[in-house]
Every structure is written in C-alpha cells, then in structure tokens.
Structure 1
Amino acid sequence: MARSTARKRALNTLYEADEKGQDILSLLAERIEHPGAQTPLPEYAIEIVRGVAEHRRDIDSLLGECSTSWKVSRMPVVDRNIMRIATWEIVYNDEVPAGVAIDEALSLAKTLCDAESPNFIHGLLTAVAAKSEEKPEENTND
C-alpha cells in the first residue's frame, strides 16, 4: 500500500483520538484488533501513529516554537494532526526527506482543510525542517 494512503489512514486515527480526547495508543490497538469496515491499517500507518504518540510532546513543542501566530492547541484538529505526522517524518524518520513530508502534508491539507490551511502548514513545516537541520544531534530515534 502506498505511503500516501498510509498517511491518510494514520491521520484518521490521530484525528479520532484527538477529537475524542482518547489515548492515541489505546485507539490504535482498537483499530488494529477491530479494523471495522476498513481494511487493516497499513504497517506504515501504524508506525506513524506510534511515532507521533511516542514523541507527541516534543512534536507539539517544536510546532509551537515554529508557529508565529497559533498555539498548537488552538490549531484546527485536522491541520494539527497533519503537521504532527509531517513533523514526525521530518525529525524522526530518516527514510523520508523533509521535502517529501511537506509535500505529502500539503496534499492532505488541500483535500481536507480550509483554503488558508495549506499556506499555513507549508510555512510552519518549512520552519520545522529548517530548525531540525540546525540540531542534527537531536534527530535520533531514542
């Protein structure tokens, strides 16, 4: 299954957990055990969700540092979770170049968010990528 599809499925899970105020990993376990009407979650979607859950505090902190106008908690839920996925890929997944993570985030934003979101997401993720390049010693999978 294509990584683009996996990202969309990961976004669905992260969005649902965020909206319900549910623990991400407990919802992920439910989705793995009982996929419902959908096909089972792709392995890369599971990797993304686990990665975001594991590093969410650091991811949100980085997004907050790079945002000039919005606190992470005030960002629209879909936007916030698209950026969490891309930030996880930029900072913690060496297999995905920053440009690809940003392009994939923009692709999701163009279909799922309001008209202003893609520009905001692009600017914020570009800042995240630049900041992550400044501190390569922090880009570990610890």
Structure 2
Amino acid sequence: MARSTARKRALNTLYEADEKGQDILSLLDERIAEPGAQTPLPEYSIEIVRGVADHLKDIDGTLNRHSTGWKVKRMHAVDRNILRIATWEIVYNDDIPDKVAIDEALHLAKTLCDDDAPAFIHGLLSAVCAHKPTVEAPTETTD
C-alpha cells in the first residue's frame, strides 16, 4: 500500500482519538484488533500513529515554538494532526525526506482542510525543518 494512503489512514486514527479525547495508543490497539469495515491498518500507518503517540509532547512543543499566532490546542483537529504526522516524519523518521513529508502534508491539507490551511501548514513545517535538531552519529572509540 502506498505511503500516501498509510498517512491518510494514520490521520483518521489520530483525528478520531483527538476528537474523542481518547488515548491514541488504546484507539490504535482497537483498530488493529477490530478494523471494522475497513481493511487492516497498513504497517506504516501503525508506525506513524505509534511514533506520534510516543513523541506527542515533543511534537506539540515543537509546533508551538514555531507557530505564529496559533498554538496546537487552538488549531483545527485535522490541521493539528496533519502537522503532527509531518513533524514526526521530519524529526523522527530519517527514511522520509523533509520535502516529501511537507508535500504529503500539503496534499492532505488541500483535500481535507479549508483554503487557508495549506499555506499555514507549509510555513509551519518549513520552520520545523529549518530548526530541526540534528542528531550526531556516535563516535567510535578504539581500545
């Protein structure tokens, strides 16, 4: 299954947990055990949802630091969760180029959000990319 579809399925799960006020990982466990009418969640969807849940406080803190005018809790739920997915990909998933994470977030925003959301999301994710922490490779020691 394409990663674009996996992102959309992850967004559905994150959005549902957000709207219900439910713990993300408990909802994910429900969706894995009982997918209902949908096909089972793709592995990459599960990886995204777990990654966002594991790093939620740091992701929201990063978004709050770089957002001008809107804190995470005031954003529309769909916008907020698109931003969380892309921020997780940018900061924590080295397999996804930053540009791809931004492009995928913009695609979701253009199809699911109001007309102002894509520009806001693009600006915020660009700031996240510009200021993302760098993790240095461990240095080897010789004995």
Q: TM-score, normalised by structure 1?
A: 0.95
The CA deviation string for residues 59-110 of structure 1, in whole angstroms up to 9 with x for no partner, is 0000000001101100000000000000000000000010000000000000
- Cα RMSD over matched residues? 0.8
Task: Verify: 1:14 aligned to 2:44, yes or no.
Answer: no
Task: Look at both structures and tell me which one has the larger radius of gyration over its CA atoms.
Answer: 2
| Equivalent position amino acid for 2:75 in 1 | M
Alignment gaps of 5+ in structure 2: 137-143
| Aligned residue in 2 for 1:52 | 52
Q: Percent identity, aligned pairs only? A: 76
| Aligned residue in 2 for 1:115 | 115
Which whole-Å CA distance do the structure 2 matches of 1:72 and 1:112 have between them?
A: 18
Which whole-Å CA distance do the structure 1 matches of 2:96 and 2:33 have between them?
A: 28
Name the structure where helix makes up a greater proportion of residues.
1
Q: TM-score, normalised by structure 2?
A: 0.94
| Aligned residue in 1 for 2:134 | 136
May I ask how many residue pairs the two structures share in their alignment? Answer: 136
Which whole-Å CA distance do the structure 1 matches of 2:38 and 2:116 have between them?
A: 30
3-state SS of paired residue (1:22): coil
The CA deviation string for residues 16-40 of structure 1, in whole angstroms up to 9 with x for no partner, is 0000000000000000000000000
| Equivalent position amino acid for 1:84 in 2 | R
| Aligned residue in 1 for 2:140 | none
Instruction: Kindly report which structure 2 residues correspond to 1:19-38, keeping only aligned pairs within 5 A, or say none.
Output: 19-38=19-38
Which runs of at least 4 in structure 1 moved beyond 2 Å after TM superposition? none
3-state SS of paired residue (1:39): coil
| Equivalent position amino acid for 1:136 in 2 | T
